[in-house]
Chain A
Amino acid sequence: MPTGRTCQGVSANCAVGGTRSIVGAVSKLASMRDAVARLVPDGASVCLGTGLEAVIPFAGGHELIRQGKRDLTLIGPISDMLFDQLIGAGCCRKVVAAWVGNVIAGLGHNYRRAAERGVPHPIEVEDHSNFTLALGLLAGSLGAPYIPTRSLLGTGILESNRSLKLGTDPWAGDPLVLVPAIVPDVSIVHVQRADAEGNCHLWGTLGVSREAALAARAVIVVAEEIRPREQILADPNLVLVPSLKVGAVVHEPWGALPSPCQGFYSSLARQVGAGRSRLEGISGSARDRDPGASQGEGAPPLRSPRLRGPLMAHTALLHDLNVFRARALPAQPLGGGIGRGAEPPSEQ
């Protein structure tokens, strides 16, 4: 461990206390393996996939799978297909999400198997909308018990998600939905760049990344580039979350693929989507995407290569290359940078 500190579990004191009283930078650089092993115990609630469709921390999610994590509560609005993969791998006991599927192909077949037939094991689903999930994390970040909203009144979501309560505006008397605070044990956020202490910049799509990082008891920052502290702190308004919340910093270039990362890469679908037939090749047949067509017949078997095979293989390959690179190569030389990233506009 580069930090030279031991820190077991995910309590707030642990994540925060290690650096709070230290003057100057303390390196929290860690391999993905070590960061996940240290900060994500079995049974933890993990928020990941906070960029809606971008900067989904696939590398982090795949490490959860690799380490065989169990009984996780997955929290996130739209996770591309990462939640679907984690559910299929048996890592998940509960899903707190607005949308679980595959942003290109539609349905999440692992999610369907688990929710409909308990395969590989039953999961609990807490339905949200994008707004109520964002508000839950915002309440967590504010240290507030709940936040009221006018969204979702009259919907089935209020029935199937028992954590949402119907309330009344104490002044006007109007009906309101009360969204309780969501406080993840750990949030995994993918960013363009960070310093070794965990001060980081995210740009392009923010989604709920800031609320997720501020609400969590600990944060794993996954960065495309590691930059010098003075460069990150030259514009402290841009720092996503104060490093006192950060438990580990992982240097993992390409770690969000197949989702896009502004200034670094497009989604894999866009990269290979130059020709229609090729994209269809990875996104499956019309039947795969069509909930009506497969009603009553159950989902295709897991071994079906039609939808998941090639793309999973591709991401797994890319990810293993990343792991290999991360282990074989030292971290980026400080101050160097690869120079591919578009700078955020206000940075000099």
Chain B
Amino acid sequence: MTYTDRELMVIAAAREIGDGELIFVGMRLPLLAGMRLPLLAFALAKRTHAPRALGLFENGVVRESPAPETPFTMSDPPNIAGALWSTTTGNIMALLQQGLVDMGFIGGAEVDRYGNLNTSYIGDWKRPKVKLPGSGGGGDIASLAKRFVIIMPQEKHRFRERVDYITSPGHGDGRDWRRRVGLRGGGPSALITTLGVFRFHSETKEAYLASFHPGQTVESVRTQTGWDLRVAADVGPTPQPSAAELEIVRSCDPRGFWTR
């Protein structure tokens, strides 16, 4: 059975969605090929283990079923028609701030060992080497959702000891940082990359490698990690996608536009 790393990421992300949960799907993962992965993960979860999950989008949309076709932007007509609610951005963000959203998906150009994300500036923000597009809704999801899942391509220069700028707060400098700065949301619970799945230590809040994707090893992941990588005691390969999961992902993305 063959599949792409992006298909595996979609399937791993879908497994992070619990049944009956309110999921901030959003759309704005910063790298093109990753942009629609949360939407596909939501579609897959709905059709497998989480039929009662609900999806939120920051343009003001609440959906109980995935759009009939994978839209090119979250505001294209297929993502609006048949929505449970199409309202203002403020009303969606209000649900988030009330603490009702169980999980959200976000990405970034850079991540660090505590799951802080940068989508704003590479280098000093006063004299940036690269000006990135900015937060969108990412900073809000990271601040306010009960937990969030990061989806990113893994390359050493993106996996930093410390990001240059925190756009979307992870666990800060670890431990009880979020509580100290006043953040109510629980922070990142998983980091899904092209090479493996990371989770965050319950006390130190540092990311550790929980599983490596088929074809990878602990060492191959380590070489693409910019900090001294910690590894789960029971680290092993990421579970293989099932044929049924792959079939659903491909039916949602028949041309392989987002996953090939």
Which residue numbers of A lie inside 8 Å of B, CB to CB? 51-55, 77-78, 80, 97-101, 103-108, 111-112, 115-116, 125, 127-132, 134-135, 138, 149-157, 159-160, 174-176, 203-211, 259-260, 262-263, 266-267, 269-270, 273, 275-276, 279, 283, 286, 289-292, 294-296
Known: A116-B130, A129-B135, A152-B143. A291 touches B122 (CB 8 A): yes
Q: A77-B89, A125-B131, A207-B89 are in contact. List 18 more A-B contacts (CB 8 A).
A: A116-B128, A150-B143, A150-B182, A151-B144, A154-B172, A155-B168, A203-B86, A206-B86, A206-B88, A260-B76, A267-B76, A270-B71, A273-B72, A275-B255, A276-B256, A279-B72, A279-B257, A291-B130
Alpha-carbon distance between A103 and B79 when the two chains are bound, in angstroms: 15
CA distance A187 to B214 in the complex (A): 52
Q: Is the CB of B31 within 8 A of A207?
A: no
Known: A156-B125, A174-B182. A295 touches B130 (CB 8 A): yes
**Contact present for B135 and A127 (CB under 8 Å):** yes
State the Cβ distance, A328 to closest chain B Cβ, in Å.
Answer: 29
Taking a contact as CB atoms closer than 8 A, the residue among B30, B76, B137, B182 that contacts A129 in the complex is: B137
Q: Is the CB of B167 within 8 A of A155?
A: yes
Q: Is the CB of B73 within 8 A of A267?
A: yes
Q: Determine the chain A residues whose CB is within 8 A of the CB of B66 once the complex forms.
A: none
Interface locus among B42-50, B54-62, B240-248: B54-62
Asked if B90 lies at the interface with its beta carbon under 8 angstroms from chain A, I say: yes
> Interface readout for B169-196 with A: 1 if CB under 8 Å, 0 if not?
1001000011001111000000000000
- For window 138-178 of chain B, which residues contact chain A by CB distance below 8 Å? 138-140, 143-144, 155, 157-158, 165-169, 172, 177-178
Cβ–Cβ contact A127 & B134, under 8 A:
yes
Which residues of B24-76 are within 8 A (CB) of A? 27-28, 30-33, 58-61, 71-76
Within 8 A of A (CB), among B62-103: 71-77, 80, 86-90, 93, 96-97
A-binding residues in B (CB < 8 A): 27-28, 30-33, 58-61, 71-77, 80, 86-90, 93, 96-97, 109, 118, 120-122, 125, 128-140, 143-144, 155, 157-158, 165-169, 172, 177-178, 181-184, 255-257
Give the residue name and chain of the B residue nearest to A168 (CB): B182
B190 → A minimal CB distance (Å): 20
Chain B facing A: main interface SS: loop
Query: Which of B90, B132, B135 is the one whose CB lies under 8 Å from A138?
Result: B90
Contact residues in A for B76 (Cβ distance below 8 Å):
54, 260, 266-267, 270
Chain B residue, CB-CB nearest to A270? B72
A160 contact from B120, B177, B184, Cβ within 8 A: B120
CA A97 to CA B168, docked complex, whole Å: 16
* C-alpha gap A103/B66 in the complex (Å): 20
Q: Which residues of A contact B72 (CB under 8 A)?
A: 104, 266-267, 269-270, 273, 279
Known: A156-B167, A276-B257, A289-B31. A211 touches B88 (CB 8 A): yes
Contact status A294-B182, CB under 8 Å: no
Q: Which residues of A contact B61 (CB under 8 A)?
A: 205
B57 to chain A minimum Cβ distance, whole angstroms, is 9
